[in-house]
Structure 1
């Protein structure tokens, strides 16, 4: 996530509300270490312009992140990533669990033995690194 240089590479899908996709993008940035506790993030207006989304959608995303304790906004100061290591760990776990559940749902009808599946996943994962 290169928010400092005005670069955010994000693709929206048609399934999920845009504001939740923005929240997920920030969560993924935290889980991957591209964002850290205390980092200043763009203003709501800036993020709307960078992502070419409605400012109200950006506001809704930031409100959701504040409600979840992901970001802190105090007065007129810029919004920052919260300094909560426990929350960051739980976000990482949440994203992994969501991805695993989606994968399992997509593959369970094939009836692949777990060991074979783990070997395929391991090979694909290492191939992509």
Structure 2
């Protein structure tokens, strides 16, 4: 597991975001076992208390679950997974909208540019495969 931490956001928040991205993209599958808090702290070279705080928050959000003394796992709840994906998409959309509005790009032009770039990106991905 590899995360590039920034200096703006608390580390535990960045860990949670990483897990959300991995869940939304399907890299972490429903029910998949994840590293223990101590293992995660060692892998990411962060304080074990930071890993503990991230896991606690993710459990409260329903992203992960821990049964008795078994390893923690990614949620099996499709509604939670769908909500995580929508949350990340909306964050990107809000950021994009703020950027294009600040330079007065008309909606039609922005949508056409998105469509063209998206399709070009898909073609490039297919060419790499």
Q: Which residue of 2 aligns with 1:19?
A: 12
Match of 2:55 among 62, 79, 97: 62
* 1:53 match: secondary structure: coil
Alignment of 1:34-113 (within 5 A): 34-113=27-106
Contact 2:33–2:72 (Cα < 8 Å) also in 1 = yes
Q: Which residue of 1 aligns with 2:24?
A: 31
Deviations 1:86-120 (A, max 9, x none): 11001100110011111212221111111111122
Q: Which runs of 5+ in 1 are unaligned?
A: 1-7
Aligned length, in residue pairs: 122
More helix by share: 2
Larger radius of gyration: 2
Give TM-score, length-normalised by structure 1: 0.88
* 1:78 match: secondary structure: coil
Q: Which runs of 5+ in 2 are unaligned?
A: 123-129
How many angstroms apart in 1 are the aligned matches of 2:55 and 2:77?
17
